Chains A and B, each alone.
Chain A
């Protein structure tokens, strides 16, 4: 029974990790919590749904299309709503409020286009179930874990080993200096938003394929939990976000089993509060020294 909870929790956790990474990427580069990320996740799931239901491309291509569309949508959001704020050197809080506004715009647009009720989503990686010892493993879960791990590795590779990743890290350390070194800061930020949106789209499609349901409000609580996962691991740090996601997923799974389904959501946040009391910068966070 415990192993079963661990496995179910890991499946859930790896998807939270995928969403949390999106928060961390944007925060790392911009020092901005992108509260539109949850809505982006719902957007990705809806695009995948509409492609798979209305065409015969199949789920794989639906997710690819969703990734591109969602990535472009977040880039567009940055271009029209956030870049003007940066250009005017406005306070961080304005950008934060703007992302909250964007989140509602995206969510309401989804409600207008797709209707506000829950809709069916085809099952993903459906090749039956098998038993390993006491643990019932669904092919869907294996697929989700595999795709997420590959994607997380890919994201880490992009950030750590590629030229654009180097540029991202440079902007993270000092945007002005990076710009003086010939880095097009706005292009780097756009790319970061694209990565964040793309990972949210994959997470949204995977989760919807797992639960076989989508609705426009799905991003709200998933976004909050992933955000707390990112903070738990130390926001801005990729492996921290992954670890945080896994902790939240496992905590939820155990809470639902041992305490009761009614308390699952609270547990993730209780853990967050406790961790922050002892490690205010998150588990992997470094202390930021404010220089005047």
Chain B
């Protein structure tokens, strides 16, 4: 009998010891956050931006003492090649790894939406710094976007058309992806009604990855537009500007914030001058926190200038850190709850989420002048 008591006591001590040891290692363990985006391929510019920004933000947080009293943030990166299939399998891997408490990423809306059901089902909070498809954030409670909704942004492109270019005849060109077609649809069928000062004269679609625009340009020119809104990224807007301005150098081109990238200027060269686009983040803003972000980013990534989406990725990681700190726990569910309450003052403006996980933000208007992005002064228009 005595022996048994001693045994039980010893065993319980052992278990307690394990539990204790476990507990102490739990507090030392780094908090893992996944960053997913296209790290290779035509959209690598964006994916690498996500990764670089997240690594930079994590480094700063860790240098300032980490989260939850000393735990470090560790970035785990995945390459989804901007493909839905790839994204879905990465989502499974992330969901299965209990150490990963949140996801910054998936770049394109369609790709994010392929991964979102898995995150929602298992309960991993996902913040996409770029997805702007209207249906994305409604896909679940764990699904957030740290980007403006597409209808807000599309309306800004119409504002630029009428205020900056005094446009009368506007044509729309969309890349044939879910995002491109949906954006063009909202632009033409919903928002244009509120802009009686301009007329939508034509609409054309092009395949993603295409480099020959001659037929599309002939078709667009037959509508006699003075301004074209291009619902596509830099890989289309750049060469499109080259080829269109070759024929008609007076055309005004308007892009979206996802074309806001140094690559746009590299691809379009001098034909890029005059392209205008709305963007939440502007890298030459005089604000101190933006300056310090841009300087640190340039220092760490040999002189590269962060784009708007890169800034939103940087803020997305910051939001996770703040939510973990405020929730006092690195539990996936607790982080999700806290994200709905957060008010985050980041480099891309103050952000808070509404009840379905959409972020609200204000836009700057940018224009390429002499091979550089410059801010359009709205007060002078």
Contact = CB atoms under 8 A, between A and B. Distances in A.
Contacts of A8: 214-215, 218
A264 B206 CA distance: 9
Contacts of B214: 8, 11-12, 253
B92 interface: no
Contact of A120 (B42, B176, B218, B266): B266
B263 A262 contact: no
A68 interface: no
Contacts of A156: none
A4 B41 contact: no
B96 to A, nearest CB: 29
A138 B243 CA distance: 11
A49 to B, nearest CB: 13
Interface stretch (A17-25, A92-100, A210-218, A279-287): A210-218
A60 interface: no
Q: Is the interface of B mostly helix, strand, loop or mixed?
A: helix
Interface string A120-141: 1001000001000000101000
A174 to B, nearest CB: 41
Most buried by A among B176, B205, B211, B267: B211
A270 B21 CA distance: 68
B218 A1 contact: yes
B74 interface: no
Given A4-B218, A260-B204, A261-B206, A120 B40 contact: no
A261 B246 contact: no
A101 B380 CA distance: 59
B224 to A, nearest CB: 13
Interface in B231-268: 235, 238-239, 242-243, 246-247, 263, 266-267
A4 B269 CA distance: 27
Most buried by B among A207, A211, A221: A211
Nearest to A221: B209
Contact of B215 (A116, A212, A221, A253): A253
B211 A261 contact: no
Interface residues of B, number: 32
Nearest to A122: B269
B239 A5 contact: no
Nearest to B239: A213
Given A218-B211, A261-B210, A116 B266 contact: no
Contact of A262 (B42, B207, B211, B242): B207
B219 A138 contact: no
A211 B212 contact: yes
A111 B42 CA distance: 11
A5 B238 CA distance: 23
Contacts of B356: none
Contacts, number: 94
B222 A261 contact: no
A261 B238 contact: no
A5 B222 contact: no
Nearest to A15: B212
A118 B216 contact: no
Most buried by B among A1, A12, A118, A213: A118
Q: Is the interface of A mostly helix, strand, loop or mixed?
A: helix
Contacts of B267: 118-120, 212-213
B207 A261 contact: yes
For chain A, give the interface size range.
35 or more
Interface in A242-275: 252-254, 256-257, 260-262, 264-265
B215 A129 contact: no
A111 B218 CA distance: 33
B229 to A, nearest CB: 16
A12 B8 CA distance: 85
A215 B234 CA distance: 14
A88 interface: no
A120 B215 contact: no
Interface in B283-312: none
B211 A257 contact: no
B207 A116 contact: no
Interface string B268-282: 010000000000000
B45 interface: yes
A144 to B, nearest CB: 12
B269 A261 contact: no
A217 B212 CA distance: 14
B176 A262 contact: yes
Contacts of B212: 12, 211
B44 interface: yes
A117 interface: yes
A256 B215 contact: yes
B249 to A, nearest CB: 10
Given A213-B211, A262-B205, A257 B219 contact: yes
Interface of B: 40-42, 44-45, 176, 204-207, 209-216, 218-219, 222, 235, 238-239, 242-243, 246-247, 263, 266-267, 269
23 contacts: A8-B218, A9-B215, A12-B214, A115-B44, A116-B42, A118-B239, A119-B266, A120-B266, A120-B267, A123-B242, A138-B247, A211-B239, A211-B242, A212-B243, A213-B238, A213-B239, A260-B205, A261-B207, A261-B216, A262-B205, A262-B206, A264-B210, A264-B215
